[in-house]
Chains A and B, each alone.
Chain A
């Protein structure tokens, strides 16, 4: 986290001076280890980040034993895309016309769900500030396999018009495994429908393997995430 920043600063002429002005971020109090008294008076240490969360990482989901079965699964997956109702950036506004009668995405078997546990498609609908990225990561990790990520708009692709912002990331695929990008600023609902159609094709062809990519390159993703989220106060994998 902070060490990463230190390393980059070391390579610059005014690095040491700037490093002196960097703040330390204290760990939130409720996350610090503490002594707890049990019912019979015995005392023990609780380390919230270790003890309250499972430490296992994500696992790769292997395909079914024969091609035919896997194709059947993929067909089923493609036909039920359930989107997590998580809006970020400008694009969250495009979801309303999509889910209401004018564009009516429900006729394609696409619907919105209120919690990550019930959803399998995460549409990152625009720029992500570091603060939102943190929530997006936690939400993504809580979604169940098989799951897909769609990046919506230029901001998720190369920063869009927020390319010089102090607080937004520029490449979504450094932090979350993106299966499909939809270009535009902002893409119209028709573009989204087209995107969902393309995603279905990818899924049926067995090419939407983002979740497995995330599991295989978990350390790489974590390192990228921690490089920008400097107050990492959550478990490494939120399952």
Chain B
């Protein structure tokens, strides 16, 4: 099902890598110029009317952010993920809130958590989940979460960590014997 969809799409669009995950789920990579026409085509002509989510992955090793637009076709019960690679040093992206109003919320989140900007998206510059965040966006992988937590939130001394398997073994069989 997804392969035939891909065959139809690739004549019209300049598509990148195609990954079929399941009979009803596939991913395809697209360039920034082709994103909007492709999404419109999928929405209006192929029946992918629902934007399930818009999220980002930080491939810091490759210096890119990957945006994933996951679309769902209810009638035929299938999903397609449209991937878009964004260079990490130019994190401006075109908003799609006019295609799906819900996208505005995702874009606000991406701006706050990854620092990916979507100019013109409604209320995109307002605080979303964090309040009074002063550091770099926390989902970027160069943000050192552990260090930040240690510096910012004082700890209570005396906290210990055990490996659950060895610890339980010691508790249950203190002389190292399993006599049961």
Instruction: Give chain A's interface residues, CB within 8 Å of chain B.
Output: 2, 5, 8, 18, 21-25, 130-131, 134, 157-159, 163-171, 174, 227-232
Residue B173 CB within 8 A of the other chain:
no
Instruction: Give chain B's interface residues, CB within 8 Å of chain A.
Output: 129-136, 138, 143, 145-146, 148-149, 151-156, 158-159
What number of A-B contacts does a CB cutoff of 8 Å give?
67
Least Cβ distance of A203 to chain B in Å? 25
Q: For the complex, give the distance between the alpha carbons of A74 and B156 in Å.
A: 31
Contacts of B158 in A (CB 8 A): 158
Contacts of B154 in A (CB 8 A): 170-171, 174
Q: For the complex, give the distance between the alpha carbons of A25 and B146 in Å.
A: 23
With both beta carbons as reference points, the residue of chain B lying nearest to A23 in the complex is identified as B134
Contacts A164-B146, A166-B145; A159 near B132 (Cβ below 8 A):
no
Contacts of A165 in B (CB 8 A): 145, 149
Which listed residue, A21, A23, A159, A230, touches B153 by the CB 8 Å rule? A159
Are A230 and B145 neighbours in the complex by a CB distance under 8 Å?
Answer: no
Least Cβ distance of B129 to chain A in Å? 7
Are B132 and A230 neighbours in the complex by a CB distance under 8 Å?
Answer: yes
Q: For the complex, give the distance between the alpha carbons of A5 and B154 in Å.
A: 13
Closest A-B pairs by Cβ, 8 of them: A231-B132, A230-B132, A158-B156, A22-B134, A170-B153, A166-B138, A131-B131, A171-B156
Contacts A157-B156, A158-B155, A170-B155; A134 near B148 (Cβ below 8 A):
no
Are B156 and A167 neighbours in the complex by a CB distance under 8 Å?
Answer: no
Least Cβ distance of A148 to chain B in Å? 21
Contacts of B135 in A (CB 8 A): 18, 21-23
Least Cβ distance of B109 to chain A in Å? 14
Contacts of B153 in A (CB 8 A): 159, 168-171, 228
